[in-house]
Amino acid sequence: MKVPDNSNVVIFGASGDLNFRKLVPALYHLFSTDQLPARFFILGVSRSAFTDTEFRQAISSQMLKIEGMDSQRLSEFMEHLYYLSINTADEHDYGRLKERLLALYEQYQAPHNTLYYLATPPSLFGVIPRCLAAHELNKEAEGWKRLIVEKPIGYDFESAVALDDQLHQYFEEHQIYRIDHYLGKETVQNLLVFRFANGMFEPLWSRNFIDYVEITGAELLGVEERGGYYDGSGALRDMFQNHLLQVLAMIAMEPPAAINADATRDEVVKVLQSLRPLSDHDLEHNLVLGQYTESEVRGDTLPGYRDENGVASESRTETYLGLKLQIENWRWSGVPFYVRTGKRLPTRVTEVVIHFRPTPHPVFSQNAPANKLIIRIQPDEGIVMNFGLKKPGAGFEAEDVSMDFRYQDLGETKLLSAYERLLLDALNGDATLFARSDAVLACWKFVAPILNYKDGPMALYGYACGTWGPKEADALLERDGRRWRYPCKNLTNTHYCEL
């Protein structure tokens, strides 16, 4: 990867969870592998009162918990880290931010190239750009200015449009990087290479040969400490509207003319705009929502969703979503995509399964099941191809066998974490792996009828922790003569996995 030109990072929300757990560790790892520029500083900004030294100590003590941390390298990194306490919502305080930045640019003899990272509550996503602009901190005369905006980008279509308008008042689209950390995952990026660098898959990649597609984003954990946020969000907004629709777009998109931000994102948005709008009738039959209930798992009692901290006792927020949807274009017409996501399922696994059509005429007394391609995004990252092989011995019976590739077979290769890759790309000015405004709006447009419907007549089914969601979600496929794959942590394990 290219080492960025001298540039700096300002993190708003520096005292928060995301910065401590993900952003600073990602920046440290880039630093320790010589992927950050020679001259750079990181300025953390939030309201909490820290001096530079106190902030460095707080971050250090968190980082030293990471196994194998090199304390010498860490203290070298810490010398690049600074902190400023301001009220991030108050325009007047940004005068002090400007002064501090000018002093740091001077101290580092650095160009004014600056990446602003908005890791604050979303209510500030529109406010911070306005405050920056009031002090001309968005101006690019002496160096580029870029803005990473965290999720959620809006709460629904209307609020996403409003946020976009606010951002565009002060920053141009080419300066705005909307993060979806799934796009930073190596295995999600590999969907492009797998599909478009191999001649053998692309001819099969359409309604002519594909029967249906499954996309699963399962989580073992519940809402943990984020009940307050999650209760206003739910699986639909938290996982489906962004991460899973982005994965779906990578599976379904046409080959881009080139791998760059415009060409790639042009193809992504075409898929999202081709999702067949869902009517109430579709939703009645093709959507299943669930919520986990208090359950005994291996002798432990796990709390139900409504008993989690920060969750309303009568909450109707879904922690599970299963949906059948269609893409209306030449490539995919008539091919169902079944998508599911949920918390407190039997294991943490994200994967895509491409089910190929069965052979047109069974000539053997026993055919193997139709071919399957399993693309595992996490964990045990890899790809498995299932196909039929002659069962050794007399006769001509076919049995199901598989060929697999696992990233772990690459040996020493260390995969960059999603935040490392995305921070590096933003510093290099490459927006290919960031969501563009039109794609975000297309996702919200598709989701809008689901949001309406779920607030109305929609049933919400309970499911026990450690199971694959409500049984009604199984019916979603069984009705079509199909069944979900029940993946295990181990990619090639085909047994039904339940806690």
Which residues contact ligand BG6 by CB under 6 A?
Answer: 151, 219, 238, 350
- Facing residues of 414 across strands? none
**Partner interacting with residue 88 (select from ligand BG6, ligand NDP, none; CB below 5-8 Å by kind):** ligand NDP
Given ligand NDP, ligand BG6, none, residue 232, with its beta carbon under 5 to 8 Å by kind, binds: none
| Residues 21-60: x where in contact with ligand NDP by CB under 6 A, - otherwise, as a string | -------------------------xxx------------
Residue 242 within binding range of ligand NDP, rule CB under 6 A: no
Which residue among 3, 18, 58, 458 contacts ligand NDP (CB under 6 A)? 18
Cβ(97)–Cβ(135) under 8 Å? yes
Q: β-strand 42-46 against 8-12: which pairing, if any?
A: parallel
Name which of 352, 359, 386 is nearest 371 in CA terms: 386
CB of 419 to ligand NDP, least distance (A): 10
Q: Does 17 bind ligand NDP (CB under 6 A)?
A: yes
Q: What ranges in 64-93 are assigned the alpha helix state H?
A: 71-78
Q: Cα 314 vs. chain centroid, distance in angstroms? A: 29
Q: Please report which residue ranges of 33-134 form alpha helices under DSSP H.
A: 52-63, 71-78, 94-108, 127-134
| Catalytic residue, candidates 80, 181, 243, 355 | 243
Do the strands 300-302 and 295-297 form a parallel or antiparallel pair, or are they unpaired? antiparallel
Q: Hey, which residues between 146 and 185 contact ligand NDP (CB under 6 A)?
A: 150-152
> Least separation, in Å, of the C-beta of 208 and ligand BG6?
32
Instruction: Determine the interface stretch with ligand NDP among 15-23, 252-260, 323-331, 391-399 (rule: CB under 6 A).
Output: 15-23
334 lies in the binding site for ligand NDP (CB under 6 A): no
Which residue of this chain has its Cβ atom nearest to ligand BG6 in the complex? 238
CB of 178 to ligand NDP, least distance (A): 12
Instruction: Kindly report whether the peptide bond that precedes residue 37 is cis, defined as omega within 30 degrees of 0.
Output: no
Does position 122 bind ligand NDP by CB under 6 A? yes
CA distance 83 to 364: 71
Tell me the C-alpha distance between 104 and 8, whole Å: 10
Report residue 221: phi and psi, to 5°. -80, 165
**Least separation in angstroms between CB 95 and ligand NDP:** 18
Residue 243: active-site member:
yes
Out of 7, 35, 113, 120, the residue judged to bind ligand NDP by CB under 6 A: 120
**Interaction partner, residue 121 (ligand BG6, ligand NDP, none; CB < 5-8 Å by kind):** ligand NDP
> Quick one: 179 or 252, whose CB is closer to ligand NDP?
179
What is the nearest approach in angstroms of ligand BG6 to the Cβ of residue 150? 9
Distances (CA, A) of 309 to 225, 296, 304, 490: 7, 19, 11, 32
Closest C-alpha among 102, 157, 152, 85 to residue 123: 152
Our CB check for ligand NDP shows the closer of 95 and 121 to be 121
Only one of the segments 119-127, 182-190, 264-272, 400-408 lies at the binding site for ligand NDP (rule: CB under 6 A); that segment is 119-127
Long-range contacts of 302-308 (CB under 8 A, 24+ apart): 302/222, 302/344, 302/465, 302/466, 303/222, 304/462, 305/222, 305/223, 305/343, 305/344, 308/222, 308/223, 308/227
Query: To the nearest whole angstrom, how small is the minimum distance from the Cβ of residue 107 to ligand BG6?
Result: 36
Please give the residue whose beta carbon sits closest to ligand NDP in the complex. Answer: 16
Smallest gap from Cβ 402 to ligand BG6, in A, equals 24
Question: CB of 293 within 8 A of CB of 464?
Answer: yes
Bridge pairing between strands 349-356 and 337-342: unpaired
Return the one option of ligand NDP, ligand BG6, none that residue 430 interacts with (CB less than 5 to 8 A, by type).
none
Question: Kind and range of the H or E element at 27?
Answer: helix 24-32
Catalytic residue set? 243
Rule CB under 6 A: which residues touch ligand NDP? 13-18, 46-48, 88-89, 119-122, 124, 150-152
